[in-house]
Amino acid sequence: MRICIIGGGIVGTLIARQLGRFDIEVMLIEKEYDAGLGVSKANSAIIHAGYDDEPGTYRARFCSKGNMLYDELARQLDIEVVRVGSHVLAFNNEQRNVLNKLYQQGLNNNIRNLRILERDEILDMEPNINPDVVASLYAPSAGITEPWQICIAATENAAANGVEFHFNEEVIDIDAQGNKIRRVITDKHEYQVDYVINAAGLYADRIANMAKDVAIPIHPRIGEYILLNKFTTADLIHSIIFPTPSKMGKGILVIPTVDKGILLGPTSSDLNYRLKDLRATSSEGLEQIVENAKKLIPGIDIKETVKTFAGCRPETSQKDFYLGASRKIYGFFNVAGMRSPGLTAAPAIAQWTCEELQKTYNLKFNLKKDYNPYRKKIFHYYNNISLEDYDKEIQRYPEAGRFVCVCNKITEKEVIEAIKRGATTLDAIKFRTRAMFGECQGGFCTHKILQILSRELGFPLEKIVYNNAKSYVVDGKVRK
Amino acid sequence: MNRLETDILVIGAGAAGMGAAICAANSGVSVIVVERNPDAGGILNQCIHNGFGLHYFKKEFTGPEFAYQLYSKTKESGIQFLFNHFLLQLDLKNKTAIFASEEGIKLIACKALIYTAGARERPFGSLLIPGDRVSGIFTAGVAQRLTNIENRLPGTKALILGSGDIGLIMARRLTLEGVEVVAVCERMPYPGGLARNIDQCLKDFGIPLLLSTTVTEVRGDGRLREVITSSLDENYNIIEGTQRSWSVDTLVLSVGLVPSTTPIMDYFSIDSKSRGVIVDNCMRTDKDWIFSAGNCVIIYDLVDYVTYQGEMAGRSAVNYIKNGNNPARYPIKKGNGVGVINCSYYVENSDLELYIRVNKPKEKAKLVVRSDNTIIYEGKPSAFIPSEMVRVKIKAEKIDDSFKKSSLVTEIIDL
């Protein structure tokens, strides 16, 4: 029996890890060079508390559970999850009423330690919040993380437990003759499989079409973001700051990042389904972010911007996840429509998927004897090791004393380790090590990383790309 | 772990660091220069064009030649260089700096420290230019590094944003290497680089300079394919209907430098706006034993100026070690018309050397340095442009004590 997961985002990789516990054959196919490059890469990176999901939805069912699973996940996968807490701010009585409703809904969803705070207490905790604030809904269990790190960590751990990964390989057809999953056909190979888990994010509808399943009603919703320089803005806020939600959604937030920067956004605009590859920012969007973020934190200085970006998330007409076994195609299982709070819910959905597969298809997965739930992250030397120990480490590994990224203080050892673990592109190095992620955005280190990638992989410089095949960096030699 | 001791420790072996080291070593003190790169000269090494050294050496050199000339001088002075060493932390109490290199961890104790770390380029992301996220967008320094050192072309057809000197230099450099440079755009109504570079890098090659024009969108799929530019009105707002599409695979940015001060921002004061180290005219920071010079203080036009200021830091550090004095200092204020100024304080009884950049062009004006109503210095009437710094030297005896009651003020007076 063979299970094929299509899509290497947060749900795909976490399901792969979950299934990797068992004595079954599992493979994952991802069209990009790396895990987590789609929806998982560009979002608010928040572990939501779970008070804003209406009862009866999949969101409510999986969000608070997923939130709780993150502590164990962080421990096992050695990823950063910081429970910074969140405030939803109210600036008038009407908004205060909304907070009260959210508070009640939070109680119903079993969210722990929720509190309504008054102005003075809020400003004691977060002095840079707009002093016109009257109340906030404070949720200490809300947290932040780096979603791409989770995808990378889950991939490494699943691979170590025997899951087979195929990156840079695109599914082009699914053979479901007789309404039963039989084969998955990619641009490179054909695989005999018994079950397909559709975790293809924005492209889950395309995969469902290939399998001749009923249509999945998703469309892209784009969100733009602004990232501020961590070295100059870090003290501005310490928790996640939301405006009072409206019909338009959660609104534009001010979010601390685990790397100590500040993220502003997202905007939210629904796009035609044909525009799912769009990742462009717009002048209106960026202006809207600045205007709204300043209403929450007036001291934001937009001149401290280091990067702007946009991400698309799959929105469904039901505003809920699209989960479960197809009723039409035997062996086709959807884990789609992972809109907000998809990141938070993902660990719970991965567990559920594993149980649901066994229930639906009458399977019994047996635990692997040598299953190892742990994975270690790439060790970052700067400020994480005593000078004595660091000196000893450099005597063993001289490359640990060679600094590549000067802003985030990343050594050549870290870059080489990322390459050993599968990084082949500049973004793959960036997302694994944070090199090129600092205030100079690669100004001082891109050429060094190009050289290291070229040397370690044996590629010429011209073959190295940022993230996808079209994003080449240099265009040939100046002199032969 | 390795421990070293020296009288003076210089961090950064660019022009400012070498200037400081040479000056200090010639006074008979011991000097160690630590550099994170494998060689001396800093960014000069990738500036293979000429135009360096006209003031300092009274000769014209390329960047690497200028660096070599300075480095040769250090060889005569017994200065110890440590290359490939990266600053981890400073221990202010013990006057010790801690470095990592492939040899291990090194603690260097000193009597005085000179920080000369240069500057970094403003990245594309900071410009808030909307559009697709694509490859093919380079800061001018990165494009220069790739072309001149890594032997790689950044693309085949380029637009340059920003008419700072490095943008102009790269316009010529890329043209000479067969890249088609379609235009240089500048958001200000006047060019950002030296007049000689406008002539030699753009006019001589027929590259158009579009003033009051900026990039308003970048498009592409993976790699840059199209850049949209727009004209700006006098308030820098986009004039609708002036959008113009350029089909290029490369965008080179020359949009300003930022002093590299992040590694030391917790140790001594920097200007929160310019991010430069705050120094007095002896290049002393707010710690009496720490000095700083070069582009980590303010962004200079000429490496010659950087070298002079490095020398000043070297002299002051020696003076501090030998005499231990910590004379009183008084603020120097920016008055009308002054955009950037080095330095922020004046040390009593010293000669004053000022580097001033005006905040907008003046057809006819004069530079005045005064304290309250006493005029200390008055320059000749002339034209001023932001791209060309003014250097002023005032002898100590010309500066009477009146500034002690208030401060020194520099201003540009229209005529």
Asked whether the beta carbons of residue B103 and residue A401 sit closer than 8 angstroms, the reply is yes
Give residue B32's pLDDT: 98
Backbone angles phi, psi at B35, to 5 degrees: -135, 135
Distance CA A306, CA B188 (A): 22
In a domain? residue A72? yes
Please tell me whether residues A430 and A288 are part of one structural domain.
no
Residue B19 confidence (pLDDT): 98
Cβ within 8 Å, pair B221-A277:
yes
Residue of A nearest to B218 (CA): A280
pLDDT value of position B373 = 78
pLDDT bucket at A234, cuts 50 / 70 / 90: confident
Tell me what pLDDT residue B326 has: 79
Residues A295 and A196 in one domain: no
Mean pLDDT, rounded, of chain A? 96
Cα separation, A271 vs A311, whole angstroms: 12
* DSSP result, A342-373: HHHHHHHHHHHHHHHHHHHTT--PPBPTT---
Nearest to B57 by CA among B43, B39, B73: B73
Shared domain check, A106 and A164: no
Q: Does A477 map to a domain?
A: no
Whether pLDDT at B86 is above 90: yes
Q: How far is B1 from chain A (nearest CA, A)?
A: 6
- Give the start-end residues of each E strand in A59-141: 81-82, 86-90, 115-118, 135-139
pLDDT tens track for A417-459: 999 999 999 999 999 999 999 999 999 999 999 999 999 999 9
Domain B123-255 matching CATH 3.30.9.90: the answer reads: no
pLDDT confidence of A342, banded at 50, 70, 90? Answer: very high
Domain range B1-121+256-326, its CATH number among 3.50.50.60, 3.40.50.720, 1.10.1780.10, 3.10.100.10: 3.50.50.60
Measured in whole angstroms, how far is the alpha carbon of residue A454 from the centre of its chain?
Answer: 28
Q: Rounded mean pLDDT of B147-153?
A: 97
Q: Which of A227, A409, A474 sits opposite B152 (nearest CB)?
A: A474
Q: Does B123-255 match B1-121+256-326 at the fold level?
A: yes
Residue A473 lies in a domain: no
pLDDT at A249 over 90: no
Residue with tokens 């008979």: B28
CA distance A45 to chain B (A): 19
In the numeric block, the tokens 């003046």 are attached to B362
pLDDT attached to residue A90? 98
The tens digit of pLDDT for each residue in B210-231 reads 999 999 999 999 999 999 999 9
- Residues in chain B with CB shorter than 8 Å from the CB of A381 are 100
Task: Give the best residue of A263, A471, A480 to mutate against chain B (max B CB count within 10 A).
Answer: A471
Which chain A residues have a beta carbon less than 8 Å from that of B120?
439-440, 443-444
How many beta-carbon pairs below 8 A join chains A and B? 147
B352-358 sheet: strands from edge to edge: B338-342, B352-358, B390-394
Minimum CA–CA partner of A309 in chain B: B133
Interhelix angle A10-19/A342-360, rounded to 10 degrees, is 40
Strand partners for A312: A222
Query: Which of the four pLDDT bands, split at 50, 70 and 90, describes residue B60?
Result: very high
pTM: 0.96
Q: How far apart are CA B388 and CA B164, in angstroms?
A: 11
The string of pLDDT tens digits covering residues A174-221 is: 999 999 999 999 999 999 999 999 999 999 999 999 999 999 989 999
Nearest CA in chain A to B42: A444
pLDDT at residue B325 tops 80: no
Domain harbouring A454, CATH code:
1.10.10.1100
Same domain, A45 and A107: no
| pLDDT at position B76 | 86
Mean pLDDT of A290-303: 96
Residue B371 has pLDDT above 90, yes or no: no
- The residue among A333, A335, A314 whose CA lies nearest residue A325 is A333
- Mean pLDDT of the A318-333 span: 97
Picking from A267, A291, A315, the residue at the C-terminal end of a domain is A315
CB atoms within 10 A of CB A138: 22
| pLDDT for residue B304 is more than 90 | yes
* Domain co-membership, A200 together with A228: no
Q: pLDDT grade, residue B403 (50/70/90)?
A: confident
Q: What is the pLDDT of residue B407?
A: 84
Longest dimension (CA), chain B: 66
Residue-range definition of the domain harbouring residue A441:
387-463
CATH of the domain at A75: 3.50.50.60
- Cα–Cα dist B88/B107, whole Å: 10
Q: Cis link prior to A266 (omega < 30° from 0)?
A: yes
Q: Is residue A480 part of a domain?
A: no
pLDDT at B89: 96
Q: Rounded to an integer, what distance in angstroms lies between the CA atom of residue B25 and that of residue A123? A: 54
- What are the catalytic residues of A? 48
Q: Look at residue A273 in the predicted model and tell me its pLDDT.
A: 84
pLDDT of residue A480: 86
A226/B135 Cβ within 8 A: no
For residue A388, which residues of chain B lie inside 8 Å, CB to CB?
Answer: 1
Q: What are B117-128's pLDDT values in tens digits?
A: 999 999 999 999
Q: At what angle do helices A147-160 and A426-433 cross, to 10 degrees?
A: 100
Q: What ranges do the domains of chain B cover?
A: 1-121+256-326, 123-255, 328-415
Select the residue of B1, B151, B249 nearest A387 (Cβ to Cβ): B1
Tokens 């230099």, residue located: B169
Is A472–B135 a contact, with Cβ atoms under 8 angstroms apart?
yes
Tell me if chain B has a CB within 8 Å of the CB of A306.
yes
pLDDT above 80 (res B372): no
Contact B131 A387 (CB under 8 A): no
Which of A340, A356, A377 delimits the end of a domain? Answer: A377
Residues A102 and A239 in one domain: yes
Q: How far is B176 from chain A (nearest CA, A)?
A: 10
DSSP SS3 for B145: helix
Query: How far is Cα B131 from Cα B121, in angstroms, rounded to an integer?
Result: 21
Residues 6+ apart with CB under 8 A from A242: A86, A87, A88, A89, A250, A251, A253
**Which residues of A fall within a CB distance of 8 Å from B153?**
474-478
In sequence order, the 6+-apart residues with CB closer than 8 A to the CB of A29 are A4, A5, A6, A7, A8, A166, A169, A170, A171, A184, A186
pLDDT tier at A24, thresholds 50, 70, 90: very high
A240 shares a domain with A137: yes
Are B152 and A476 a contacting pair at CB < 8 A?
Answer: yes
Model pLDDT, residue B400: 81
Domain shared by A235 and A302, yes or no: yes
Alpha-carbon distance A27 to nearest alpha carbon in chain B (angstroms): 28
Same domain, A292 and A305: yes
Q: Which of A277, A303, A475 sits opposite B153 (nearest CB)?
A: A475
> Which of A303, A308, A391 is closest, CB to CB, to B125?
A308
* Count of CA atoms in the C-beta half-sphere (13 A) of A406: 24
Whether the per-residue pLDDT at A246 is higher than 80: the answer is yes
| In the predicted structure, residue B101 carries a pLDDT above the cut 80 | yes
- Taking contacts as CB-CB distances below 8 angstroms, the residues of chain B near A231 are 262, 265
At B40, is the secondary structure helix, strand, or coil? coil
Looking at the structure of chain A, the number of domains it has is: 3
**For residue A195, what are the β-bridge partners?**
A3
Last residue of a domain, one of A276, A294, A315: A315
Q: Quote the tokens at residue B380.
A: 């000749």
Over range A322-348, report the average pLDDT: 97
Rounded average pLDDT over A56-60: 95
- The dihedral through the CA atoms of A279, A280, A281, A284 has a sign that is negative
Are A177 and A77 found together in one domain?
A: yes
Q: Looking at the structure, tell me whether residues A196 and A266 fall in a common domain.
A: no
As given in the structure block, the two tokens for residue B257 are 């430098």
Min Cα distance B106 → chain A (Å) is 9
What are the C-alpha distances in Å from A458 to residues A29, A454, A462, B207, B291?
A: 25, 5, 12, 39, 45
Within an 8 Å CB–CB cutoff, is residue A458 touching chain B?
Answer: no
pLDDT in tens, A361-404: 999 999 999 999 999 999 999 999 999 999 999 999 999 999 99
Query: A311 forms bridges with which residues in the sheet?
Result: A223
Q: Residue A285 above 80 pLDDT? A: yes
Best residue in A289, A439, A445 for a mutation probing chain B (most B CBs within 10 Å): A439
Please state the rounded mean pLDDT for residues B335-353.
93
H/E stretch holding A235 reads: none
Cβ-Cβ contacts under 8 Å, A476 against chain B = 152-153
For A:134-173, CB contacts with B below 8 A are none
Same structural domain, A302 and A225: yes
Within A180-328, strands assigned E span 183-186, 190-192, 195-198, 218-228, 240-242, 253-256, 262-265, 269-270, 305-316, 322-325
Percent of chain B clearing pLDDT 70 (strictly above): 100
Sheet of strand A2-6, all strands in order from the earlier edge strand to the far edge: A164-166, A25-29, A2-6, A195-198, A332-336, A322-325
DSSP H/E element including B296: none
Q: Mean of the pLDDT values across residues A99-106?
A: 96
Distances (CA, A) of A197 to A189, A239, A249, A344, B68: 18, 36, 29, 19, 63
* Residue A456 included in any domain: yes
